[in-house]
Amino acid sequence: MSVVNPRIRHVSIDGALFQDEVDARQVMSVPSIYLNDDLFDSGRKGVEEILAKLDTGAAKREAAKMGTKDAFDVLVIGGGPAGAAAAVYAARKGIRTGVASERFGGQVLDTMGIENFISVKETEGPKLARQLEEHVRQYEVDIMNLQRASALVPGSDGLHEVRFESGGSLRAKTVILATGARWRQMGVPGEEQYRNKGVAYCPHCDGPLFKGKRVAVVGGGNSGVEAAIDLAGIVAHVTLLEFDTKLRADEVLQRKLRSLANVEVVLNAQTTEVTGDGQRVDGLVYTDRSSGDSRRVPLEGVFVQIGLLPNTEWLKGSVALSPRGEIEVDAHGRTSVPGVFAAGDATTTPYKQIIISMGDGSKAALSAFDHLIRSSSPAAKLEVREEEAETA
């Protein structure tokens, strides 16, 4: 913003180089954004999100604009790899396509190194997220960012409605649900209070802020053990707590973990509380499940790595969800509601990965197109614009 507007002055501080600034401001999460010396926000933000926070009337204006839009042929909810792929595949059929999402890029924005996106040997999450949006913008797709869906109202006449927290709503002949997943929280006292003040979820993002300090990693699956290995190279000491009687991570990761001198593994441990001094974390309390004893570990940081939760609460009662809250889909990406499809991490599709989500999103878009051309309902009749149909 300061590059394009000379009235905005910006100072960027690298916390890894200026530890005294980090300590003085009690920064426990990056980026921490200060506006005129007051804490404005923390965590990764796009310029659109910052502007929306500064311009308080923006959400209402967007909601009013939504009300004027015609029904979409395909409306994608979610702008992660699954949603972006669905939008590209739908738009290439020359049909009216929209994507509404809270944060374009999804989890990819929170990822650093990506080395298993086939044909790209190595890339970084924010770069891939930018490329996803650029690819979608190549086509005539209506992209509506910073929109959080709050309800799906399936229509009996073939037109479905999606309502948003902003107050707006959109109608569509077919809907593709691609709302992905988010970090699972422990749900113990102190976790929310000390979030970004010692409680963290992204070791790649916030690990360097705990340089030379003591941290715990909660969770002994692949992501927990990877986080512990990663953090062991930065922090003074890592305590890895696993609820089960054994670690669930791949053997190769466990072997690496065991080779590290500054990592202690505690099995059969149920975290019960994160403690602090009111400003920042100073410890973690757990119950030893074999003896029932309660123990306290003094430390400065807690990294929670206990899996992901699908972003599907808003769909309860409208489409069938599995006991884990994932959207139930068949091999074509169809949900329990005709004309409503789903893709990616939010669904019962196994193995939550970028490339799998992209394949899933593409498949859902092709299924949606198939539904449109086969549907006999007048509302669902497809209107392929002539000039676009030729290029599709």
Ligand X SMILES: Cc1cc2nc3c(=O)[nH]c(=O)nc-3n(C[C@H](O)[C@H](O)[C@H](O)COP(=O)(O)OP(=O)(O)OC[C@H]3O[C@@H](n4cnc5c(N)ncnc54)[C@H](O)[C@@H]3O)c2cc1C
In the complex, which residues of this chain contact ligand X (CB under 6 A)?
Answer: 77-83, 100-104, 106-108, 110-111, 114, 116, 147-149, 178-181, 202, 311, 314, 344-346, 352-355, 357
Q: What is the smallest separation between the CB atom of 307 and ligand X, expressed in angstroms?
A: 10
Cα torsion angle, 222, 225, 228, 233, sign: negative
Label residue 333 left, alpha or beta by phi (over 0 means left) and psi (-120 to 50 means alpha): left
Q: Which of 73, 110, 202, 360 is catalytic?
A: 202
Between residues 15 and 333, which has the closer beta carbon with respect to ligand X? 333
Give per-residue burial for 14-45: e unless 16+ CB within 10 Å, then b.
Answer: ebeeeeeebeeeebbbbebeeeeeeeeebbbb
Tell me, rounded to whole angstroms, the distance of Cα 209 from its chain centroid.
Answer: 22
Structure tokens at 282: 């100073």
Q: What is the smallest separation between the CB atom of 106 and ligand X, expressed in angstroms?
A: 2
The SS3 call for residue 111 is coil
Catalytic residue check, 142: no
SS3 string, 253-281, reads: HHHHHHCCCCEEEECCEEEEEEEECCCCE
State how far the Cα of 204 lies from the Cα of 223, in Å rounded to an integer: 11
User: What interhelical angle do 81-91 and 354-374 show, nearest 10?
Assistant: 40
Between residues 242 and 345, which has the closer beta carbon with respect to ligand X? 345
State how far the Cα of 310 lies from the Cα of 327, in Å rounded to an integer: 8
Q: What is the smallest separation between the CB atom of 276 and ligand X, expressed in angstroms?
A: 25
Q: What is the smallest separation between the CB atom of 250 and ligand X, expressed in angstroms?
A: 15
Residue closest to ligand X (Cβ)? 180
Q: Which of 20, 37, 110, 206 is catalytic?
A: 206
State how far the Cα of 382 lies from the Cα of 372, in Å rounded to an integer: 6
Q: What is the smallest separation between the CB atom of 147 and ligand X, expressed in angstroms?
A: 6
User: Can you name the residues that pair with 266 across neighbouring β-strands?
Assistant: 241
| Residue 28: DSSP 8-state | -
Q: Which of 205, 230, 282, 288 is catalytic?
A: 205
Is 82:177 a contact under the CB 8 Å cutoff? no
State how far the Cα of 276 lies from the Cα of 41, in Å rounded to an integer: 21
Q: Which amino acid is at 38?
A: D
Between residues 95 and 176, which has the closer beta carbon with respect to ligand X? 176
Catalytic residue check, 360: no
Between residues 225 and 354, which has the closer beta carbon with respect to ligand X? 354
Tell me, rounded to whole angstroms, the distance of Cα 368 from its chain centroid.
Answer: 24
Between residues 111 and 254, which has the closer beta carbon with respect to ligand X? 111
Between residues 94 and 168, which has the closer beta carbon with respect to ligand X? 168
Q: What is the smallest separation between the CB atom of 38 and ligand X, expressed in angstroms?
A: 27
Is 129:84 a contact under the CB 8 Å cutoff? no
Annotated catalytic residues are 202, 205-206
